[in-house]
Amino acid sequence: MDDELRFVARDGFVVREILGEYMLVPMDTGNVHLSDGSMLPEFNGIIELNELALFLYNTLSEPKTFSELVEAVESEYDTAGQDVAGDVNEFLDRGIKDQIIFIISRRKEEEDR
């Protein structure tokens, strides 16, 4: 994955633990403006998170690159012999599709400073 990109979690959700399962519940997901001036619709669903997805979602409270996410997982968990990059990529793909993870261009952030 391209390390010129950074990823961040969408605001407006809280994590609830219900009977040992983690759920991402929308509280205020409206008014998300995109760079083209359009707005994302409010998110009205609930997303179930496994332990790794919960860790990655929480890690993305601040923008991170793909490599930083892989390193964070490897630091937190015993990952010997596991495809950490594949797991992180799968989480990001799903999160982007579900519009709970946004892609931020590092170059754009640096230009804005």
Per-residue pLDDT, 34 = 62
Name the CATH architecture for the domain at 5-112: Alpha-Beta Complex (3.90)
pTM > 0.95: yes or no: no
Per-residue pLDDT, 37 = 67
User: pLDDT band for position 4 (50/70/90)?
Assistant: confident
Q: Is the dihedral of CA 62, 105, 67, 91 positive or negative?
A: positive
| Mean pLDDT rounded to a whole number for the chain | 84
Per-residue pLDDT, 29 = 57
**Residue-wise pLDDT tens digits, 92-105:** 999 998 888 989 87
